[in-house]
Amino acid sequence: MTSERQAVADGFDAWVTTLSQWVAIPSVSADPDRLPEVGASAEFLAQALRRTGFPQVEVLDSGPYQPAVYAHWPSGDANAVRVVVYGHHDVQPADGEDRWTHPPFEPMVIDEVLYGRGASDDKGNIGLHLLGLTAHLAATGRSAPAVDLTLLVEGEEESGSPHIADLLADLDGRLDADLIVVSDTGIFDAQTPSLCVGMRGMVSGELHVHGPEVDLHSGIFGGAVPNPITELARLLAGMHDEHGHITIPGFYQGVIEPTEADRTTTAALPFDETAWLAGPAHSRATWGEAGYSTLERIGIRPTAEINGIYGGYTGPGGKTIIPTDAYAKLSFRLVGRQDPAAIRAAITGYFADQVRAGLMAELTWEGDGVSPLFTDPQHPATAATQRALGGAFDTDTVLLTREGGSGPEADLVAAIGAPMVFLGVMTDDDQVHAPNERAPLALLRKGCEAVALLWRELAELGRTGLGASRGN
């Protein structure tokens, strides 16, 4: 057993207790009523980081952003790699309470699985850095980490990181790094450790179709004036053709077609589509863009999704009206070099052009959106992270994957100007963003170990081995 594994085993039970206490804080950034809890969650993490030994820990709560946590622990070694770890402590709303078999904010361990909102995304993943660091220190006998360690844990990632630019600006000069480690993604499955090398970008918003100025009697006026809900349905259905291609002019601008090597890498993953449908996808069929496999549709193709739809009368019984308004919540995942601003303009233009005369279609965007991100699979940090994950999972094979999700990763790379790797242990079975979010303790344990091993790997590489320029 490596000394890192032993140290993780020694501290694991106490760590699970700490993580559970953190998960119990309902830090839902989307809900304005939960703002105090987002603050409490930041404070909780700050205390845990201080107990871990970080000499500098700060809760940033004076910006337009929800409370974030910054922590720094200098290595003291001359050639130490400077690392910024990024993740978030806010969580998705836990609506659909009736579908939670365990209350979302009363975390509990059942059959070696921790249940609770945030158990995986992202308190579980950020928590890895607490025990991972303790294990690194114990295993190396050091009193400070072998890398120069900075943590940035934001409080509104699940709301689309609308103020990440302000947060990064407030930390200007304190985020100098040779490497960014994002802990907000996962592995292919519990048996298949893998390294994420790309995430999709996203723009999202609400489409509003406005019709008559008052609700109209559907007998007296029906059939003679346009119905905004019918029109909304037509516009939304028109976003895809029968091959699953998105029809919005200009939408594919910047999409990069996969190379043969990309397709081979993806095809090498042990993907069991039938099990995926029955398991995490909870669906009876696949559907998507013709010419691409399911994993390619998730990893390297853009999407146009309708997340919600409302309008008119939805109460008990019937109400025979032509309603005044119809609304849909939309989100679009972006890949390659698709530019969020250009894509927003293309979509806005599409609905304005397509809407039938006499109706109004207006799109209100949720923030600026985020750009897609892909990392360099050839970078020495990629191999170092593969070795760390391989060490934790006792394997030499750590495959490369692309995640369908989105975060502010491209903004971080642009602001910090360093390469990025992903280290997290979520899986598709974790029900993230869904009821009954969960994290298997065995994976969390391996994640803590992978963190400890990564700091060892990076220390062995040093800044020179990482290709970081001196004095940078």
C-alpha–C-alpha distance, residues 128 and 386, integer Å: 17
Residue 136: CB minimum distance to Zn ion, A? 23
Q: Tokens 């589509």 map to which residue?
A: 273
C-alpha–C-alpha distance, residues 69 and 25, integer Å: 15
Residue 90: CB minimum distance to Zn ion, A? 9
Quick one: 182 or 300, whose CB is closer to Zn ion? 182
Site for Zn ion in 151-210 (CB under 5 A): 184
Residue 69: CB minimum distance to Zn ion, A? 15
Quick one: 121 or 178, whose CB is closer to Zn ion? 121
Residue 122: CB minimum distance to Zn ion, A? 4
- CA-based nearest residue to 185, from 88, 52, 99: 88
- Relative to beta strand 108-110, strand 82-88 is unpaired
Residue 121: CB minimum distance to Zn ion, A? 4
- Residues contacting 222, CB < 8 A, separation 6+: 216, 320, 322
Residue 157: CB minimum distance to Zn ion, A? 6
C-alpha–C-alpha distance, residues 56 and 78, integer Å: 20
Residue 381: CB minimum distance to Zn ion, A? 21
Residue 182: CB minimum distance to Zn ion, A? 10
Quick one: 280 or 465, whose CB is closer to Zn ion? 280
Q: 197 forms bridges with which residues in the sheet?
A: none
- Residues contacting 264, CB < 8 A, separation 6+: none
Residue 10: CB minimum distance to Zn ion, A? 28
Q: Write b or e for each residue in 221-232: b if 16 or more Cβ atoms lie within 10 A of its Cβ, otherwise e.
A: eeeeebbbbebb
C-alpha–C-alpha distance, residues 37 and 29, integer Å: 9
Quick one: 84 or 146, whose CB is closer to Zn ion? 84
Residue 437: CB minimum distance to Zn ion, A? 11
Quick one: 356 or 433, whose CB is closer to Zn ion? 433
Site for Zn ion in 63-122 (CB under 5 A): 121-122
Quick one: 119 or 322, whose CB is closer to Zn ion? 119
* CA trace torsion 159, 161, 162, 167 (10° rounding): 140
Quick one: 426 or 458, whose CB is closer to Zn ion? 426
Contacts with Zn ion, 22-61, as mask; x by CB under 5 A:
----------------------------------------
Q: Total residues contacting Zn ion (rule CB under 5 A)? A: 3
At residue 424, what is the residue type? G
Residue 120: CB minimum distance to Zn ion, A? 8
DSSP 78: T
- CA-based nearest residue to 416, from 163, 89, 82, 129: 82
Instruction: Considering only the C-alpha atoms of the chain, give the largest distance between any 2 of them, rounded to a whole number of Å.
Output: 83
Q: Which two tokens stand for residue 288?
A: 């998507």
Quick one: 42 or 384, whose CB is closer to Zn ion? 42
Quick one: 348 or 431, whose CB is closer to Zn ion? 431
Site for Zn ion in 316-375 (CB under 5 A): none
C-alpha–C-alpha distance, residues 119 and 424, integer Å: 12
C-alpha–C-alpha distance, residues 117 and 93, integer Å: 8
C-alpha–C-alpha distance, residues 469 and 472, integer Å: 6
Quick check: bond before 411 cis, omega within 30? no
Quick one: 184 or 437, whose CB is closer to Zn ion? 184
Quick one: 184 or 430, whose CB is closer to Zn ion? 184
C-alpha–C-alpha distance, residues 308 and 395, integer Å: 42
Q: Is 409 in the site for Zn ion (CB under 5 A)?
A: no
Q: Which two tokens stand for residue 74?
A: 């200098």
Contacts with Zn ion, 114-133, as mask; x by CB under 5 A:
-------xx-----------
Q: Which two tokens stand for residue 172?
A: 């200007």
Check: CB of residue 44 under 8 Å from CB of residue 22: yes
- Give me the residues that bind Zn ion (CB under 5 A), please: 121-122, 184
